[in-house]
Structure 1
């Protein structure tokens, strides 16, 4: 159920009214429509999901929540809605028995104010809504000023770029704004191949100045592409992140990534030494790959892993299929440790024949993983995982001991000694 009530006026106050019953909504809509000093433009929806969909295409000055509140659990979806629409104040319109719940929501900051159904008129309703809007603007201004005054604590001391905490805050704010105006947002996660080797080998006397040069080159590569609401941040040692908002086409993101790769082609020169640093970039796009800062960064990290598997100096967009692939690999890696404890690895032997004499001259020991549900897992699937996790050494030692024991068993059975390669 969705409908618009009231005529559109230039100076109108846009209200998103959530009320399950049109009968219950009618008196409130009538009061708003009859206000003389303020022109209210009311969009009426029947539930929270309808409200979220409407907010994807429209912006509102206030959300008026009139759906029933009968249990403390009913406040949970209201909290979720308030967090997703944090740029828009929310006022509760509650029945008299639900007044304690409404008061609790206001005290916890979920809502700006609450009104009681059946105990208000047009003047009270108008004043309450306008006050909630102004109070929300005032609190937002104070929050912004506090954040600006605390800026040094949110800045990386080496590069003067925003740090991880600031990155999350700014990305969350930008996603909220983009949700209301239906614009794309991109998160680019950048890993610098080669920096860790330089830092670990030559120490911070070279690593720190190099990091500053890297940050400067990263910013210069995006000159003319980064706008006021965009962000370039340092998340950790050699990991940087870029947020680009207000996007209309994905090729703008590709151009930005290609610009970064091109900027890092020349070497960095410090103390007469040349250092080649290769960026690898993983990219996620809102609203396709995530809806909040955490999911967007996670998707970009999955894309970054895929990019690092390809080669340095490349970028990759997030693909859901790649995420499934990494989850499968993670499950197999966890199962590898259990497999060692349960002795699930078996050794098969492939004979090497002397074609002329027709006799076996050697054996090659081949390890296979006899997984309890997947069956025989080929080495190409688990050997790379064993190498990554450090399990290749105990597994290799076990295969070597098994092959030696088998060779001795053949000799005791009367067969001539043969070479066994592992």
Structure 2
């Protein structure tokens, strides 16, 4: 029984028949309304919207068939169940009833108890149909509201049903068409064959394992690549339900994450992680195929100076241009692209490249399928030459050079870590050989590096273990033949190696920054020794100490010098600080400020190794130093070398013209001393006058007047 009392319209021209039908309806709990002919039945159906209609076939004005058709045309008449009352054996009337839109028929004579139950059955069936239609409409509304496409597919790969997603017909298929164009077609007629075969294979798997299967594929729609995922689940022994979702946004997000993880944010080329994975794949491929490849490690020379002087913004722009030039320089067959490599950020759909930025100003290049070592060297030299061309940034030309190291598989190593490390080692060897160079790795380089590392470790401990000591070389006044100064020279007595040459450990100290604490120790020790000599009551002797470029750039230099003078009690006029031309010229503005601070302290300033650097009259005037020391390379050829003699004489004359004192280094013979005295040189030092000696020996020299034998 319906939950609510239903209303039935009874249409018959026989009043007795209408009365019997109304009593039957009342007996089964239904309400009835009556019509005497077909026309009245149509009017009452439109006005009351009954739940069921009992309609006699033969009626005046409008027969039952015409009335049925008219009721079906009403706004509320399409779904109402209509039961036609026909003659007992009138088969033609039954056929006409169904054609007119009848739901069911009843034959005369009528069995009234059965008719009551039949009416109730038709009402229940109608109610169920209405509910199904409502549910179907709701389901289709839900399907229309979501972006996913649904379909049913047979075991043989034919579409049984297809409901496109929210974005329109055909979503997830090759041709944009309505569902009726897809239903009944085979999957190979709807999707590209390779995708269709993969989908059809997973249909079989879903039916076989009774588990959800999925397929991802890409289609070109509206000129753009779109990505889809089809999820399949078996709904019977021979049928699957499929859900197709557009995952293009997800793929773009994944690609963005991949770029952040594998692409260098500044230059857009692969980063260290991408290169390591790329190198690992190439390593495995080369092992299987018995191939060779090379790893190039490139570092820009003096890049830090560009950052420090021009700013990090210019440095970043330079790195971008360097990466662009590397792409242009290396031939496509040098950078063999593969589908599994990381794509470039500026061309998302392109294949990968074997170029990467490891960080800072370090770049790597992978050359696969190497046939000859010369090929790797040719690439390296081509890259090196390309870097020498000027880079234009903010209207200014910037010049840089590059040092490149090369390691080879399998000659130099059979794992990624070793190959990258050895290429790095070869790059540092290229720098040590003068920069702007390319070098192949060799096992001897590792021995050198290990020796270098051990020496660095030893040097770091040298100060703590009191392994450093000072020797002093006297400076003679050419006119008075008196020792008026000494130069402090640092030496290192290694616990295992013995005395280490300054030519070996001083550059290492400069490279590692240890020269700053070592230089401060030398300054304090020398000042203390000079004060000791002063306390002996002998003549005051000026002590000369070399300042490295790193020390000179230390913003605390003035405080360090003041502290050393204060703690030792040495008169500032007895301390001479020696600077090289390169140190003075590195940053003229900062140099002037530092020199002004040192002059304010009252120390003596001189230029060491003059003649080997800029040798400019302009900077000598600007920096206003008190003395310059002629480099030993000009003195060694005297008196035979006429060119050196002319240069030495010119330097002395120029310095005197600027009211500067001249010191000649490296005097090794009496003839050189006599010639320098003739040229008017003020002070001399060298092996002829005395080798670097411990303080005790110098103390003895200070106790007597020293007269050069060869000159007297």
| TM-score calculated relative to the size of structure 1 | 0.59
2:342 matches 1:219 = no
1:313 is matched with which residue? 436
Distance 1:286 1:171 in 2: 11
Contact 2:488 2:526 in 1 (8 A): yes
Contact 1:206 1:270 in 2 (8 A): yes
Distance 1:358 1:150 in 2: 77
2:277 matches 1:154 = no
Contact 1:194 1:276 in 2 (8 A): no
2:405 matches 1:282 = yes
Distance 1:197 1:411 in 2: 43
Which of 419, 423, 448 is residue 300 of structure 1 equivalent to? 423
| Residue 221 (structure 1) shift | 0.6
Q: Which blocks of at least 5 consecutive residues in structure 1 are unaligned?
A: 1-145
Contact 2:484 2:540 in 1 (8 A): no
- Three-state SS of the structure 1 residue aligned to 2:367 is strand
Which of 164, 177, 186 is residue 272 of structure 2 equivalent to? 164
1:189 is matched with which residue? 297
| Residue 183 (structure 1) shift | 2.1
1:228 is matched with which residue? 337
1:388 is matched with which residue? 511
Deviation sequence 1:364-386 (CA, Å, 0-9, x none):
32221122222122211211222
Does 179-188 or 239-248 show the bigger shift? 179-188
1:374 is matched with which residue? 497
- Three-state SS of the structure 2 residue aligned to 1:342 is coil
1:179 is matched with which residue? 287
- Three-state SS of the structure 1 residue aligned to 2:492 is strand
| Residue 231 (structure 1) shift | 0.9
| Residue 400 (structure 1) shift | 2.7
Runs of 4+ in 1 over 6 A off after TM superposition: 146-149, 354-358
Deviation sequence 1:119-158 (CA, Å, 0-9, x none):
xxxxxxxxxxxxxxxxxxxxxxxxxxx9999466322233
Distance 1:392 1:202, change over 3 A: closer
Number of residue pairs matched? 277
Indicate the structure (1 or 2) with the bigger Cα radius of gyration: 2
Distance 1:318 1:413, change over 3 A: same
- Three-state SS of the structure 2 residue aligned to 1:341 is coil
Distance 1:416 1:195, change over 3 A: closer
Deviation sequence 1:227-280 (CA, Å, 0-9, x none):
225711111122110011111110000111111122223212233222223222
- Three-state SS of the structure 2 residue aligned to 1:187 is strand
| Residue 207 (structure 1) shift | 4.2
Contact 2:468 2:493 in 1 (8 A): yes
For 1:205-354, list aligned pairs within 5 A.
206-224=314-332, 225-229=334-338, 231-352=354-475
- Three-state SS of the structure 2 residue aligned to 1:218 is helix
- Three-state SS of the structure 1 residue aligned to 2:516 is helix
Distance 1:369 1:200 in 2: 33
Contact 2:279 2:366 in 1 (8 A): yes
Distance 1:150 1:390 in 2: 39
Distance 1:369 1:203, change over 3 A: closer
Deviation sequence 1:256-308 (CA, Å, 0-9, x none):
11111222232122332222232221111111222111111100111111112
Distance 1:204 1:359, change over 3 A: closer
2:196 is matched with which residue? none
Contact 1:282 1:317 in 2 (8 A): yes
2:101 is matched with which residue? none
Contact 2:407 2:419 in 1 (8 A): yes
Distance 1:394 1:194 in 2: 24
| Residue 197 (structure 1) shift | 4.3
1:10 is matched with which residue? none
Contact 2:471 2:489 in 1 (8 A): yes
Q: Which blocks of at least 5 consecutive residues in structure 2 are unaligned?
A: 1-253, 339-352, 546-712
For 1:95-134, list aligned pairs within 5 A.
none
| Residue 352 (structure 1) shift | 4.0
| Residue 164 (structure 1) shift | 0.9
For 1:48-87, list aligned pairs within 5 A.
none
Distance 2:407 2:505 in 1: 29
1:49 is matched with which residue? none
Select the structure with the greater relative contact order (CA < 8 A; seq sep ≥ 6).
Answer: 1
Contact 1:210 1:270 in 2 (8 A): yes
Distance 1:178 1:160 in 2: 27
Distance 1:303 1:408 in 2: 48
- Three-state SS of the structure 1 residue aligned to 2:464 is helix
Q: What's the C-alpha RMSD, in Å, of the aligned pairs?
A: 2.8
Distance 1:335 1:259 in 2: 40
2:347 is matched with which residue? none
- Three-state SS of the structure 2 residue aligned to 1:247 is coil
Deviation sequence 1:35-94 (CA, Å, 0-9, x none):
xxxxxxxxxxxxxxxxxxxxxxxxxxxxxxxxxxxxxxxxxxxxxxxxxxxxxxxxxxxx
